Each structure stands twice: as C-alpha cells, then as structure tokens.
Amino acid sequence: MRLPKRVLLAVGLLAFVPTGASAWPADAVTAISRDARKLLPRSLSRLLGEREPQVLDELRRFPPDVSRALAGDLPGGRLRPETVAALEAQADRVIELLKEGQVSQGVVRLGGLLRIPADLCDPVLAVGAEGWPPGVTREYYALFAANLHRMPVVLDDPEALKLSRNGLPAMWQSLVERSRTQAPVIRTELFRGGRVVDHRQLDYRSPAWAVSSIAYSRAVTATAATWLAVWRASRGDTTRVPRAREVRPQDPGSALADDRRPPAPEAP
C-alpha cells in the first residue's frame, strides 16, 4: 500500500526526531531555555532555573500524540484546529496546576511548553511535501551547532511578550508561517549542483547561517512569550521584568564574529 506524501513526510520527521525531543540539537534547547529566562520576571526566571534538569526531562516526555500532530501539520504550513486545541490543553493544564498551588510541578510543566515554540520555529520541520535531500538537515544542524556561541540573540518581537493566554494560538501559527519562508534558503545554500554542501564551507556571511540565527532568536522570544502568557493567566508575579538593551547596528565583520559561548551549567 502506498502512503500519501504528507503521511510519508510526517513519518520521516518522527523518525528523525526522537520521541519527546525537538529537532534542535540538545545544546540549543538548553540555550533557548536559558536565553528565554533572561526575558522573564526575576521570580519566574529563578523558579525555572532551579528546576532546569527537571524541565529538560519534561521536554523529553512531551506527549507523543501532540508531537505527532505537530509533525503532521508543520509541512503544510497550517496548524489544524485539533492541533491548536491540543497545544492549548497543555498550556491550560499548567495554569490549573499553578492555580491549585502545585508550584513545583506547574513550573516544570511550564518549562516543558518550550517544546511548542521550539518546534514551530525550526525551519527544518516546516519543509513542504518535497522533503529534504539526504544529508541537508545534517549539515544545517552541524552549521548551527558549530556557530551557536557566535550567534547574537535579539528580541524578535517585543509585543509578543505582552500576549495574553488567548493570544498564543495566533502567535504559534505565525511562527509556522515564518519558518516555512526560511526553509527554501536552507535548501538553496546546502544543496547545490545535486550535491550536499559541507557546512564547514559556510560562515556568518551565508544566508543559511542567517536563517539559523534568526530562527534561534525567534525561538527564544516565542518561548519567553509562551511562558509569560501562561504565567500571567496563573496570576504569577510579573514584577521586576528586565528591560531589553537596545544596540545600534555594527559592522558584521566584527559584531557577528564575537564569541558568545553558552552559559555555564547552573547549580541545581
């Protein structure tokens, strides 16, 4: 029996992405979490930071049925109503736990919501029905992992940090649409003349490098926005929110080459 291309692609994505883990490299997921915490109220940032190991475990336990729904929708560029409902149910369960006073469990589950914006911001998962030539995703993630410490983190959408819980579905859908527009750039840069391009041939001047950097900042901002919207709905403390630092454009030859090593592991 022949399966439709959409089904085959979803199965391929699920085979590529281990159950309960996003397609981003493991170091990137940790870095997204830590950078997103910098945009949160001090109290919430501390609560998540103190539970980082448990949050990372929660990410690996993200419900497989929701993961399958995401994998099936991303190639089409549109989240189905039932997928949105499943994502909202994850957020609403966190709100229930926090309102019931189960703070530790609620905060860990809150941290696990990172999986939603992380997947939606990954242009690799948003490829269309044509899929990826063998080896392209390997080289893209290798390019990303090799340069993560050099990528500047920018606030992708300041207004997103003010969203209410009800505003999350629209933001999540916008992430899918933006990721879809970036997927062709990866193909163009990493598959030329019928051959896969070695990521070591590319640097910060490559459009593929730019895509990975923009996608990372988008994931950081969307993660913080998701956490904040759910935290507000739980009536959590929203005081002492850090202010983003405004910087002026600089010569990319110097600014982008700066070394931004991942932060050291935090004490439990």
Give the pLDDT score at 250: 60
Q: How far does Cα 242 stand from its chain's mean position? A: 21
**pLDDT for the residue 22:** 42
pLDDT at 71: 87
CATH number at 5-233: 1.10.575
The pTM (predicted TM-score) of the whole model is: 0.83
CA dihedral 155, 161, 163, 164 (to 10 degrees): 150
Tens digit of pLDDT for each residue in 219-229?
999 999 999 99
Residue 218: pLDDT band by 50, 70, 90 thresholds? very high
Question: pLDDT grade, residue 17 (50/70/90)?
Answer: very low
Could you tell me the residue ranges of all domains in the chain? 5-233
3-state secondary structure (DSSP) of residue 30? helix
pLDDT digits (tens, 9 = 90+) for 131-145: 999 999 999 999 999
Query: Which pLDDT value is given to residue 40?
Result: 96
CB neighbour list of residue 98: distance below 8 Å, 6 or more residues apart: 106, 107, 110, 231, 234, 235, 236
pLDDT at 212 over 60: yes
Kindly indicate the confidence band of residue 260, based on its pLDDT and cuts at 50, 70 and 90.
low
Average pLDDT over residues 100-105: 96
**pLDDT at residue 249 greater than cutoff 90:** no
CA 206, CA 225: separation in Å to the nearest integer? 29
Model confidence over 109-163: pLDDT tens digits?
Answer: 999 999 999 999 999 999 988 899 999 999 999 999 999 988 888 988 889 999 9
pLDDT of residue 87 exceeding 90: yes
- Dihedral over alpha carbons 20, 126, 151, 61 (to 10 degrees): -10
> Which residues lie across from 191 on neighbouring strands?
196
State the pLDDT at residue 245: 65
